[in-house]
Chains A and B, each alone.
Chain A
Amino acid sequence: MAESRRRDILILLGCVAMLFVANFVLFAAQTFPLRSAGMPDWWKTSIIIAGVVMTVAMFSFLYKDNPFFRAAENLFVGLGLGVSLNVEWFNFFKPHVYDILVAPVFDPTVDVQKAELVRLVPIALGILLVMRISRKYGWVSRYTMGMLVGFWAGFAVQPEIHSNILIHLGATITPTPMPWIAWASLGAVAVLLCVTAYYAPKGGRLALGLKIASGAAALGYIILRAVPALQASEAWAEAFNSLDRLVIIVGVLSVLFYFFFSLEHKGAVGAISRLGIIFLMVAFGASFGYTVMARESLVVGRFQFLLGDWLQLL
């Protein structure tokens, strides 16, 4: 235990010493302070050094939880709250309420414009909303809530339904002209997938064979799609688009089956809903892959900051 603690303290002192030495070298090499229009920019320099310290403090969690990480984490939360308050005050409350209605009260040279008194209405509605904290008078907040819901229902329902439902419905069921051979192939693959979904949970050689056949069909399609020569061909591109469209239709219907609980998921319904699970898993897998990429980008971004903005090596 004492050995581990001594190692932690040594690592901590090593990090602090490295930060100190690196900054000392940067000042000695006249990289720091940074310059704006030929003049030393101490503000920008301090911001970068603070950013480096915070980054190292955050990364220190990868070694183990420690007070520096906790301090940086709490500072981040506190700063976030401070920025939010700043935004609310300087963008909403000060220009729209304080400067127009309150400040003139203390400055006799400025008159409150009568037309501006209309602002008292939304202010009153806002105060009614805050009354929710009172048990006795909380009911008055319903007036404001009712107005908000009414406004949004009128303002947003039509465009939201149009853009988020109708357009996508249309895109899903777009007609797909395809030769009969493509239809037949697709039908065969759909039957294969459904049969696989039905027999897969039962196990045995038949299930294994069906799984391999389905996997080979899916893999074959993915490989075909990746062949540059086929991508360049107009006929193949059209066929791929049509197939994609049908895959989407099959995917949407089978996933809807999976979420349809009025019928027991047995027999044909069970097979189709299990196909829906496969589509869901593929979608979750794609999302997870993209999420991993995004998290890697964050690491890359921090190192770009450390090597570029701080050490000026990029």
Chain B
Amino acid sequence: MRDFRWLFLLVSAAVVFALLAPQQQPGTPEDAVKQVYDTIESLPEGSAILLAMDYDPQAKAELEPTSIALVRHALRRNLRVIGMTFWFTGNDFANVLFEQVGSEFPDKVWGRDYVYLGFQPGGMAQVITGMGENIARTFPQDYRNRATAGMPIFQQVQSLKDIAYLIDLAAGDSFVGWIVYGGDKYAVKMAVGCTAVSGPDMFVRLDAKQINGLIAGLRGAADYESLIGIPGLGTSGMFAQSIIHAMIVLSVILGNGLYFWRKRKKHQEA
């Protein structure tokens, strides 16, 4: 099999199989993921959490399952959820996500129990600082162009200081801005959900206690889904990813085995 394109085809077939017949994998959720779950569980009913949906379609596969699980968990716990983004290209589907998960809870009302504020231009540091003063003034309108000033959700939540838990779902380095100008400056308890690429950078923040939890990549999403007991795209995606891992390991072993076998054969022939 000299043409490596067969490997691509094999991986595709494996992913299709894994997605069509997903399995819940055994294992214990990572401590950093469990910290996020435990923090949300520990918040009193009516507390507000802020979800910064700072990602776009490129990172949708990794961060959307996490976002869905977080919004579901928070609404199930009767927390108030406020969403916003610094990524314009992710604005529309973040709104769809809030609408879809919100519709799963018929007793929850937009503007009272949850709201998606949309995209706010003007520079991250400035906008976060503005939210530290007054969220409704920084976002005069929500995604649906309704005035935020009179919304019940903002009667008790006026600034970042009133946010019980801030979670940045970051495809890039937006978490730095949130930590520097939000979490550290206003002493807001914070966690990060990020793509696997950013995962290693986040452990430093976790270690320094700038964030108290971390949900990294599909593995993090699958862990969180298992914690809330609702398997979704993260669980099936992680199963597919595990199959790819197994294929990569097998390919490496097979490739090395063949290499040494050929080398030995050549040596014997010589």
Contact = CB atoms under 8 A, between A and B. Distances in A.
Interface of A: 62-63, 83, 87, 91-92, 155-156, 159-160, 162-164, 167-168, 170-171, 228, 248, 283, 286-287, 290-294, 296-304, 307, 313-314
B11 to A, nearest CB: 7
A303 B208 contact: no
Interface in B177-214: 179-181, 184-185, 195-197, 199-200, 204, 207-210
B218 A313 contact: no
19 contacts: A83-B88, A83-B89, A87-B88, A159-B180, A159-B181, A163-B180, A170-B208, A228-B28, A293-B218, A293-B219, A294-B196, A296-B241, A297-B217, A297-B218, A298-B58, A301-B62, A301-B237, A304-B237, A307-B16
A62 B208 CA distance: 42
B196 A167 contact: no
Contacts of A62: 5, 8
B167 interface: no
A167 B208 contact: yes
B240 interface: yes
B240 A300 contact: yes
A242 to B, nearest CB: 13
Interface string B1-40: 0000100100110011001100000001000000000000
Contacts of A296: 241, 244-245
Contacts of A286: 200
B200 to A, nearest CB: 5
B60 A290 contact: no
A273 to B, nearest CB: 22
A299 B11 contact: yes
A36 B143 CA distance: 20
A160 B200 contact: no
Given A300-B15, A304-B233, A171 B209 contact: yes
B61 interface: yes
Interface residues of B, number: 46
B106 interface: no
Contacts of A299: 11-12, 15, 244
A159 B210 CA distance: 13
Contacts of A160: 180
B221 to A, nearest CB: 9
Interface of B: 5, 8, 11-12, 15-16, 19-20, 28, 58, 60-62, 88-89, 119, 121, 125, 176, 179-181, 184-185, 195-197, 199-200, 204, 207-210, 216-219, 233, 236-237, 240-241, 244-245, 248
B195 to A, nearest CB: 5
A293 B241 contact: yes
Contacts of B218: 293, 297, 300
A273 B20 CA distance: 50
Question: Main SS of chain A's interface residues?
Answer: helix
A132 to B, nearest CB: 21
Contacts of B237: 297, 300-301, 304
B208 A159 contact: no
A299 B16 CA distance: 10
A91 B87 CA distance: 13
Given A293-B218, A313-B20, 14 more contacts: A159-B180, A159-B184, A163-B180, A164-B180, A171-B207, A290-B216, A291-B196, A294-B62, A297-B62, A300-B19, A301-B60, A301-B62, A307-B19, A314-B236
Contacts of B19: 300, 303-304, 307, 314
B207 A304 contact: no
Given A290-B199, A294-B217, A303 B15 contact: yes
Contacts of B217: 290, 293-294, 297
Contact of A167 (B121, B184, B199, B245): B184
A276 B43 CA distance: 43
B184 A163 contact: yes
Contacts of B208: 167-168, 170-171
Contacts of B200: 283, 286-287, 290
B240 A303 contact: yes
A303 B14 CA distance: 11
A163 B210 CA distance: 8
